[in-house]
Amino acid sequence: MDVDRGASGEAAAPHLTVVLADDHLVVRAGMRLLLSQDPTFEIVAESTTVPETVRAVERHRPSVLVLDLTLTGRSSLRSIPELLAVSPRTRILVLTMQEDPAFAREALRTGAAGYLLKEAAAEELLGALRQVAAGAAYVQPSLGARLAVAGPEDDDSLTAREVEVLSLLALGHTNQEVSESLHVSVRTVETHRARIRDKLGTETKADLIAAARERGLPA
């Protein structure tokens, strides 16, 4: 097999194309600056909404999609299978502030190759990008330990959707507002709310806020 080589005779570094999906301009600017310093990476598109991201991935078929879990007020978690359907070879690295293991578990279950918190150092981000592009999985070590300890069958372990509902309720949204935000029925929100109450004992607004804060969610 032929391999491109530089003047030194060593194999050239792989060329990895990247789509950035994040609705925060500052985050994207920081990513552009970081990746521009490494010739391995080329940012081919940026997006701020789920539909934009699907179109960008379908058009460019990047090596890696760096995906925030919230894009312009909408969860992108449920879009992971669709993104992989339009570009099966694209590897998805979730880069988020959501540190609850339920989000990481659901993202990986639905097809993401990696899960990294935005607090990670620049070197870790670059390493995670290379690792998922090479076909391996990557989970931030501190979060991976929590996943291993919690396990998927813990009685008080919330699903990713339940975490989303908890976060919105803790911020003061009504069941109707939660249903509109997550594109589900009010009855579904009520069901999730009942399960959250059963698992965590959240009877009051103060209980919801406390439970959200324990999981690093805004409240």
Query: Could you give the angle at which helices 160-170 and 175-182 cross, rounded to 10 degrees?
Result: 130
Mean pLDDT, residues 130-145 taken together: 86
Domains and CATH numbers, the chain: 16-150 (3.40.50.2300), 160-214 (1.10.10.10)
Whether residue 150 contacts residue 157, with contact meaning beta carbons closer than 8 Å, is answered with yes
Owner of token pair 């339009």: 86
DSSP assignment, residue 15?
Answer: P
173-188 tens-digit pLDDT: 899 988 888 888 888 8
Q: What is the DSSP letter of 216?
A: T
> What per-residue confidence (pLDDT) applies to 147?
65
* Half-sphere exposure at residue 85, Cβ-oriented, CA atoms within 13 angstroms: 7
Please give the model's pTM, rounded to 2 decimal places: 0.69
What is the pLDDT averaged over residues 94-101? 87
With beta carbons less than 8 A apart as the criterion, state whether 61 and 87 touch.
yes
| Residues 6+ away with beta carbon under 8 Å from 121 | none
Greatest mean pLDDT range, 4-13, 47-56, 115-124: 47-56
CA–CA separation, 124 and 69 (whole Å): 19
- C-alpha separations of 55 from 32, 77, 132, 134, 190 in Å: 20, 16, 22, 24, 33
Task: Tell me the average pLDDT across 56-71.
Answer: 96
> Are the CB atoms for 42 and 18 separated by under 8 Å?
yes
